[in-house]
């Protein structure tokens, strides 16, 4: 009995053949063709000579695990490329979102309506239209209007405003706050925020209460720092109880340096003749629609008597700038990714040169050209996938970290993260194709002679 062993692919196959000295099996003299010991060995070899996906994955993993340092450095190149791509796109999307939010908060939701001066029949005599006293309520009923309020500066001759009932004539002169009249809806319309206390309410407006809200600058000038002890301010010897201190506003910044009283109180005490302007806060994108109908709602008989300034949709210029910034960041990320692909190709080529002897031995033992090429492509794909997963995670962490440091809301499409990981695998496959083809073309004899 002679036993011959032959290595095929990654496993061992044993082919047994029984030979008797001095005798031969002939066709038709014992066993039919394709049967017997010789036929069984041929069938066993045909079935065993298969290099499946499991074998391919195992060989690729073992090939990479034998060189962990090189694996880490090669994957690092992909990590930097994918991480740069995800991070730069994340930075661009987050920055664009923050920029858009700032534009939206300041410009895209605030509108103003003012009386317009009209020329009577070309005579040169100007007549100014008048805002109705209930114009804020008429505007608030329109679709798309979230808040509306009337505000007017009260003109006083030689005003005396202080937080003390007695004026010291010897005291050094200080800047006197202005006086404004407002309806309760104006604070929401100008996106105001209170430091302490409460806003003017409709009870104050309907009953002409002697109360006031101080702007932050006016409170500092008058020395009022708290409202829980019900302080009073005096405007021309008339007392007004301070119910709140205004901290900040997005629009009508003059309110910060003013004593703000109810509009009905200003009409009764100071003789306010008409509101100066109507502040309006609209829903996002509703500015053009509101601008078309608000003048008619204020004065159905003469809607042309008002200057209406309503926010427009985000401009094409702003959208183009955002798109250009995104494109720039994407190009930078792709450049970094291309460097990673070149690194994989170079390292895989060096691996082919170092493993020429191994390649020749595999070919001599029965491995096909396709088996050899597939193994190197699989190794490159694994390196790319590891780098893609790690780089995508690093890019997400970098985006979230930047947003947290700047107190922004992170914006990143999660589909991009998944695509980035798969892109790393694809880059690995493409980078490994050329070295894999070079390895598959090696002749077994030549590779064994030149290999280590």
Give 215-231 pLDDT, tens digit per residue: 999 999 888 988 988 89
**pLDDT band at residue 141 using 50, 70 and 90 as cut-offs:** very high
Beta carbons of 241 and 260 less than 8 angstroms apart: no
Beta carbons of 311 and 109 less than 8 angstroms apart: yes
**pLDDT band at residue 27 using 50, 70 and 90 as cut-offs:** very low
**What pLDDT was estimated at residue 215?**
93
Provide mean pLDDT across the span 320-336.
67
**What pLDDT was estimated at residue 301?**
85
Three-class secondary structure of residue 412 per DSSP:
coil
Question: Among 5-9, 71-75, 368-372, 374-378, which stretch is predicted with the lowest mean pLDDT?
Answer: 5-9
Distance between CA atoms of 110 and 284, rounded to whole angstroms?
10
Beta carbons of 395 and 90 less than 8 angstroms apart: yes
Ramachandran angles phi, psi of 132, nearest 5°: -70, 150
Q: What is the pTM of this model?
A: 0.52
Three-class secondary structure of residue 130 per DSSP:
coil
Counting Cβ atoms within 10 Å, is residue 265 exposed (0-12), middle (13-18) or buried (19+)? buried
Residue 31 has pLDDT above 70, yes or no: no
Distance between CA atoms of 406 and 99, rounded to whole angstroms?
13
**What pLDDT was estimated at residue 415?**
84
Beta carbons of 405 and 96 less than 8 angstroms apart: no
**pLDDT band at residue 134 using 50, 70 and 90 as cut-offs:** very high
| Secondary structure letter of residue 297 according to DSSP | H
Distances (CA, A) of 111 to 116, 133, 141, 151, 280: 15, 18, 15, 13, 5
Beta carbons of 201 and 243 less than 8 angstroms apart: no
| Rg of the chain, C-alpha, whole Å | 42
**What pLDDT was estimated at residue 93?**
76
Distance between CA atoms of 391 and 87, rounded to whole angstroms?
9
Give 87-116 pLDDT, tens digit per residue: 877 887 787 677 666 655 556 788 999 988
Q: Around 337, how many Cα atoms within 13 Å sit in the side-chain half-sphere?
A: 28
Would you give the end-to-end CA distance of the chain in angstroms? 36
Written as six digits, the tokens of 271 are 């003789």
Written as six digits, the tokens of 341 are 């692909």
**What pLDDT was estimated at residue 16?**
36
Beta carbons of 286 and 205 less than 8 angstroms apart: no
Ramachandran angles phi, psi of 361, nearest 5°: -65, -40
Long-range pairs, 319-324, Cβ under 8 A, ≥24:
322/96, 322/99, 322/100
Dump strand ranges (E) for 267-374.
277-282, 306-309
**pLDDT band at residue 20 using 50, 70 and 90 as cut-offs:** very low
Kindly report the number of other CB atoms within 10 A of residue 253's CB atom: 12
Please provide the size of the chain in residues: 452
| Among candidate residues 427, 412, 437, 430, the one with its CA nearest the CA of residue 91 | 412
Dump strand ranges (E) for 169-231.
178-182, 193-197, 211-215
Three-class secondary structure of residue 231 per DSSP:
coil
Residue 47 has pLDDT above 50, yes or no: no
Kindly report the number of other CB atoms within 10 A of residue 154's CB atom: 23
Q: Around 402, how many Cα atoms within 13 Å sit in the side-chain half-sphere?
A: 18
Give 142-189 pLDDT, tens digit per residue: 998 999 999 999 988 888 888 876 555 555 455 688 999 999 999 999
Distance between CA atoms of 71 and 148, rounded to whole angstroms?
65
Beta carbons of 219 and 162 less than 8 angstroms apart: no
**What pLDDT was estimated at residue 51?**
59
Distances (CA, A) of 124 to 71, 90, 304, 306, 368: 86, 59, 18, 18, 99
**What pLDDT was estimated at residue 10?**
40
Distance between CA atoms of 35 and 19, rounded to whole angstroms?
15
**Residue 223 φ/ψ region, left for φ over 0, alpha for ψ in the -120 to 50 degree band, beta for the rest:** left
Question: Among 192-196, 279-283, 287-291, 367-371, which stretch is predicted with the lowest mean pLDDT?
Answer: 367-371
């Amino acid at each position: 009995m002679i036993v011959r062993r032959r290595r095929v692919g990654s496993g061992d196959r044993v082919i047994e053949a029984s030979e008797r000295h001095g005798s031969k099996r002939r066709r038709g003299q014992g066993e039919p063709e394709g049967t017997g010991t010789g036929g069984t060995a041929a069938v066993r070899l045909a079935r065993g000579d298969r290099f499946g996906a499991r074998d391919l994955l195992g060989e690729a993993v073992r090939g990479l695990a034998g060189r962990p340092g090189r694996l880490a450095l090669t994957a690092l190149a992909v990590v930097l490329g994918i991480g740069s791509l995800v991070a730069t796109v994340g930075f661009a999307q987050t920055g664009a979102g923050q920029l858009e939010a700032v534009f939206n908060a300041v410009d895209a939701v605030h509108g103003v309506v003012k009386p317009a001066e009209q020329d009577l029949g070309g005579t040169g005599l100007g007549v100014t239209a008048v805002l109705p006293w209930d114009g804020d309520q008429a505007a608030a009923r329109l679709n798309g209007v979230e808040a509306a309020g009337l505000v007017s500066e009260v003109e006083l001759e030689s005003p005396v405003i202080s937080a003390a009932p007695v004026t010291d004539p010897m005291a050094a002169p200080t800047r006197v706050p202005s006086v404004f009249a407002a309806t309760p809806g104006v604070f929401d319309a100008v996106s105001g925020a209170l430091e302490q206390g409460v806003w003017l309410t409709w009870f104050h407006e309907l009953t002409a209460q002697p109360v006031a809200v101080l702007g932050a600058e006016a409170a500092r000038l008058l020395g009022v720092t708290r409202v829980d002890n019900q302080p009073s301010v005096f405007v021309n010897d008339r007392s007004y109880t301070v119910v709140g201190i205004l901290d900040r506003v997005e629009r009508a910044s003059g309110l910060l340096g003013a004593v703000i009283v109810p509009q009905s109180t200003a009409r009764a005490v100071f003789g306010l003749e008409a509101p100066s302007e109507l502040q309006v806060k609209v829903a996002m994108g509703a500015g053009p629609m509101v601008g078309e109908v608000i003048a008619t709602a204020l004065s159905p008989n003469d809607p042309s008597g008002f200057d209406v300034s309503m926010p427009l949709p985000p401009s094409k210029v702003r959208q183009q700038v955002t798109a250009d910034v995104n494109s720039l960041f994407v190009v930078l990320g792709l450049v970094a990714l291309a460097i990673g692909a070149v690194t994989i190709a170079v390292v895989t080529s060096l691996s082919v040169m170092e493993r020429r002897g191994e390649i020749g031995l595999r070919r001599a033992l029965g491995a096909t050209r396709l088996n050899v090429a597939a193994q190197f492509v699989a190794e490159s794909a694994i390196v790319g996938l590891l780098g893609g997963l790690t780089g995508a995670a690093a890019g997400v962490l970098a985006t979230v970290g930047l947003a947290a440091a700047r107190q922004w809301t992170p914006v990143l499409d999660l589909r991009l993260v998944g695509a980035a990981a798969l892109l790393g695998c694809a880059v690995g496959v493409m980078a490994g194709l050329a070295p894999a083809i070079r390895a598959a073309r090696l002749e077994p004899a030549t590779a064994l002679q030149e290999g280590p």
